[in-house]
Amino acid sequence: MQTKEDSAFTTAQEKLENSTDIDAQLYIAIEFMKTALSEGEKACFHDFWRMKKICLDLFKKEMHPTKRSLYWEEYTKILSQAHSLQKILEEQTDFQVEQISLAITALENELNEKEKWKAIINIEPLKDSVLDRQFLKIRKELAVLGIAKEKLLSLRKEILRQDIRIGQKNKLLVKISQSGDLIFPNIKKLTKQLSLEFLQCIDQFVSDNFSLSGSKIISKELPFALKQQIKSFQDILKILPVSNDIYRKIRSILSQCWDLISCHEKQKREAFEKLREQENEKLTQLMEQLSQIEVDSQVHKKTEEFIKETKSLGLSKDAMHKLWKEVGRLRDEFDQIKRKDEEKHCEIENKKKEEDLEKVKISIEILKVLSQKAKRMKLENLERDFTSEIQEINTDLIPKKMQFTYNKFTLQIEDIILIKRVKSSQEDQKAPSEKAIMQHKEKLKQMIYAAKKEIPLCGLDIEFVMELKEIIAENKRALSALA
């Protein structure tokens, strides 16, 4: 295939062949030489020197001396320009060659100082810390060599791109090849070493956890943990620069292990589903047994015995939770019935207490009336009415506040009865003994003490405080009368 320069030279050559005039031929040749030099650094010297040879042949032919002189002058001027331009280009080429040689030398020096570069280079850590420590040295060395390899290939491309002499280009390529001998064999050797070591790790993992020949898992590890380990190996495999054969082999081994785990998990799921079906059948039967338990006072005992029996069946937590839920429902139902009965009983008790309280209020009111007219009544009638009324009252049912009122009226009546006995002059009536008078005084004192003790505890109940103070004053007056 002809290049653009060859095509231009061929076209110029055809024009020369088609022309018979020497002047015209020299004009075409010189103009072509000018065009070849006009591109400066990209000047096509190969076509220029070929056209120069043709020009010399044309000058040897017969032509007018004046025209020959003019063409010769122009021809020599173009040659002078060509030599100057070629010299400049050669200087530039020499500089480029020198720079490339320095770059190659610097690369060789870097290779001689690999330990220094390994100390400062950073590489991506592996997920497995054990493998990361094991492969760290080789990976760092491969990283240094990889950088040198990229620089070397870049320099080779640069040499091939340069428009320099073939001899110079070959010398540089030989030097590049010598530098490559320090890089590529080492990369191949370290890659093979790394690949084999990683393959050994994979084989060890497989032999410890799987039996590929028997298609079974021998490890005690959970399938999930084994899958995570396989994923970790796959991620490491993407990072490590292993050979293609080892890469495919490791991928195949890990895929077999993964399929084996998936098959094992599928079998476990099927077994679990079968056990779940059996458990659901048992659970249905147990639920029917629970539904037959009557909700009565023995429900807690019966359900406790039922739970003890079911614990020996080895049911799952979920099934036991459902049973406990049903047991709780039965117990809650009984507790609700019991609560309603207690509320009903409590309501009856409260109603009875209210009735008893009402009776107490009526009795106290009767005692109050009796105390008011006691002075006007005969002693026998007063004692009879007082005794009958006291016997009807159950003092345990009297509230605390009413207790003071009750004691107030009873002591008033007893005081009046005692005074009536003292003052009585009837022949058949004996005067009260000294002991009876002392007992009555003691009751009055106790009443005064109790009232005084209760006053600080009344708080803002002013009405009750006033009542207590009135009781204290009346009892003191009674004591004064008996003195």
Domain boundaries, the chain: 4-112, 121-262, 349-482
* Distances, alpha carbon 335 to alpha carbons 225, 308, 318, 331, 340, in Å: 49, 21, 25, 6, 8
At 394, give phi and psi (nearest 5°). -95, 105
Task: With a cut of 80, say whether residue 64 has pLDDT above it.
Answer: no
* Distances, alpha carbon 31 to alpha carbons 18, 85, 172, 394, 415, in Å: 16, 17, 37, 151, 163
Task: With a cut of 60, say whether residue 426 has pLDDT above it.
Answer: no
* Distances, alpha carbon 268 to alpha carbons 213, 214, 231, 254, in Å: 21, 18, 21, 21
Give the pLDDT confidence score for residue 242 in this predicted structure: 87
Task: Report the distance separating Cα 252 and Cα 256, nearest Å.
Answer: 6
Mean pLDDT over the full length of the chain: 76
How would residue 70 be classed by pLDDT, with cut points 50, 70 and 90? confident
User: Which of 289, 280, 287 minimizes the C-alpha distance to 323?
Assistant: 287
Q: What is the mean pLDDT of residues 382-393?
A: 72
How would residue 248 be classed by pLDDT, with cut points 50, 70 and 90? very high
User: pLDDT tens digits for 298-320?
Assistant: 777 777 777 777 777 777 788 78
At 216, give phi and psi (nearest 5°). -150, 165
Structure pTM?
A: 0.48
Task: With a cut of 80, say whether residue 345 has pLDDT above it.
Answer: yes
| Contact between residue 21 and residue 13 where contact means Cβ atoms under 8 Å apart | no
**Pairing mode of beta strands 216-217, 210-211:** antiparallel
* Distances, alpha carbon 200 to alpha carbons 207, 219, 232, 249, in Å: 10, 18, 16, 12
DSSP code for 125: P
At 79, give phi and psi (nearest 5°). -60, -40
Helix (H) or strand (E) holding 431: none
Give the pLDDT confidence score for residue 425 in this predicted structure: 45
At how many degrees (to 10) do helices 299-311 and 317-373 cross?
160
At 210, give phi and psi (nearest 5°). -135, 160
| Contact between residue 156 and residue 104 where contact means Cβ atoms under 8 Å apart | no
Give the pLDDT confidence score for residue 1 in this predicted structure: 41
At 422, give phi and psi (nearest 5°). -65, -45
Q: What is the mean pLDDT of residues 415-427?
A: 61
Highest mean pLDDT among 126-140, 185-199, 204-218, 335-349: 185-199
How would residue 427 be classed by pLDDT, with cut points 50, 70 and 90? very low
For 248-303, strand residue ranges (E) read none
Least confident of 114-118, 155-159, 252-256: 114-118
Give the pLDDT confidence score for residue 218 in this predicted structure: 80
How would residue 295 be classed by pLDDT, with cut points 50, 70 and 90? confident
* Distances, alpha carbon 25 to alpha carbons 15, 19, 81, 275, in Å: 8, 6, 21, 105
- 3-state secondary structure at position 210: strand
Task: With a cut of 70, say whether residue 431 has pLDDT above it.
Answer: no
For 411, what's the count of Cα atoms within 13 Å in the CB-facing half-sphere? 26
For 151, what's the count of Cα atoms within 13 Å in the CB-facing half-sphere? 19
| Contact between residue 479 and residue 445 where contact means Cβ atoms under 8 Å apart | yes
How would residue 69 be classed by pLDDT, with cut points 50, 70 and 90? confident
Task: Report the distance separating Cα 295 and Cα 85, nearest Å.
Answer: 118
User: pLDDT tens digits for 401-420?
Assistant: 676 777 777 776 777 776 66
With tokens 């005992």, the residue in question is: 301
Least confident of 120-124, 135-139, 255-259, 362-366: 120-124
